[in-house]
Amino acid sequence: MSAVRFLVSSVRPALSCGVRRAQPTTVSTLLPRPAHPTSSLFVSRRSYSTEEQKQEEPAAEGQKQEGQAEQPPAENKEADLIAEKDKQITELKDLYRRSLADAENVRQRTKREVEQTAQYAITRFAKDLLETSDVLQIALNAVPAADQSGSNQTLTDFYKGVTMTRENLLKTFKRFGIEPFEPVGEVFDPNLHEALFYQPAEGKEPGTVSAVVKVGYKIQDRVLRPAQVGGNWKLNGSKQLVESLVGLLNKTEIPADVEVVVAPPAPYLDLVRSSLKKEVGVAAQNAYTEKSGAFTGELSIEFLKDLGIDYVVLGHSERREYFHETDDVVAKKVAFAAKNGIKVIACIGEKLDERESNQTFAVVDRQTKAIADALAPADWANIVIAYEPVWAIGTGKVATPEQAQDVHEHIRSWLKSNVSEEVAATTRILYGGSVNGKNSADLAKREDIDGFLVGGASLKEEFATIVRATA
C-alpha cells in the first residue's frame, strides 16, 4: 500500500446526541356561544295575601340563588366539550396527514427499489461475462499487427472471428446498459479506477493514468468494475509529494481534542517523523510478529519504536486481498504490536459480494472476534478500530452516513457484549470509506463514528475541512 494514509479522530467517549421530534401544533377553533333567548321585561308591584308570605319569599329567593350557584351554566359545559372535540379533530387530522406522508414515502421507496432491481438485475451475471470479454481482448492483443491481415489465412480468419465475437458481446452489453471505459490520460479517480502500480511517465502530469491493465465497465450510472490502471509514480510515491504533505500538515491548525496520524510509505517514515510537528502522529503501514530475525523485507516493532513511530495500520483491505492476510494473521500482528507498546489501527470490513448477500454484520463480527480473542484486557488501550466498507472503495458506490453508523453501532454493541462495557465506551471506531470535504461533516455527526481513516489522494485542500468536521 504505497498511498499515504491519514487517521483523523476525536477522543472517545462520544456524547450521545438525541434529536427531539417536533410536536404537532394543536389549533382549537373557538365557536361563538349560543345567544340567550330574548326575554320580555315585565314591571309590576308585588301583592301579598298575608304578612307571612311577604317574609317567606326573600328566604325562598336566597335558597334558589344558592342552588343556581352550585350548578355551572349549561353553556360552559357545552363550550368545553366543543373545545375538546376540536382538539381531537386537529390531532386526528395531523395523524391522517402523517399517515399519508408515510404511505407516499413507502410508495416512492418501493418504486425506486423496483426500478433499480430491473436496471441492475443482471449485475452478477454481467460481472462473470466481463472476464470473457477480457480473455477475448487478450487473444486479439496476442496476434502481431503484421499477421492480423497477412498471408497466414488461418491466423487472419481466427483474428477476424475473435474480433466479431467480442464486438457482438459488447453490443449485447450495450443493450443492457453496460459500457466500457478506458481512462488513459485522465486524472486518477479512486471511485472509477483501481491503482495497481506507479511508473515514471514522460509528459504526464502527476496523478494521471498512464496505462490500463483492464478496462472498466459501467452499468447504467454505476461502476460495474473499476478500470485497473497504472499511474505516474509522483502521485503517491515521491519524496517531493511526501514533503508537500508534511508542509500541509505543519500549517494546519489541529484542535486540542482531535488526533491526526499520517501513514507514509515505509522508506519515508524517518523523514516524516523528523520533519512533522510533534502533535501529529506517524504510523507504519505494516509490521511483523517478531522483534528480530531472518525475515527479509519485513518491518519489526523495534525498528518502528527506534524511529519514534506511534501507530501501525494492520489488517487493511489491500493487505487482506493482495497479500492474503487471514483473520488469524491479522489478529497475531495486532496482538504483538499492542503488547509491545505500539498503538494499532485495526481494519475490518466487508467486500461487495458480502454486502449484497447481507453478510456485513457476520463478516465484521468474525474479524473483530479474531482480534479480540488474541488480546488481553490491558491491550485494548492500544487499539483503534477502522471500519472499511471495501464495497464503497473504488467502486463508485458510496456508503451513506446512516449505513456507516449502523455498522459502527453494531461493532460497539459487539464489543459491549463480548469484551466489556468499558472497552465499548472508550475504543475509537473510525470510518475508512470514501471520505472527503463534502461528506465528512455529516459522517462526523453520527454518534458511533469517532473519526476517519482517509487515503492521501483525497486530502490536500480538503484536509483542513475533514479535521474541522471531526472536532
Q: Which residues are the active-site residues?
A: 316, 388
Cα torsion through 319, 324, 328, 331, rounded to 10:
-10
C-alpha cell at 396: 463508485
Under 8 Å between Cβ of 239 and 260: no
Under 8 Å between Cβ of 208 and 232: yes
Give the β-pairing of 216-219 and 222-225.
antiparallel
> What's 315's DSSP letter?
S
The distance of Cα 99 from the centroid of its chain, to the nearest Å, equals: 30
SS3 432: coil
The CA distance from 212 to 230, in Å, is 6
CA separation for the pair 231, 264 (Å, rounded): 18
**Rounded-to-integer distance, Cα 234 and Cα 99, Å:** 57
CA distance 16 to 448: 9
Instruction: Catalogue the E-assigned strands of 328-382.
Output: 343-348
The cell for 423 is 472497552
Identify the bridge partners of residue 346 per DSSP, sorted by sequence position. Answer: 314, 385
Nearest to residue 408, comparing CAs of 454, 449, 367, 364?
A: 449
* DSSP calls for 374-398: H--GGGGGGEEEEE--GGGSSSS--
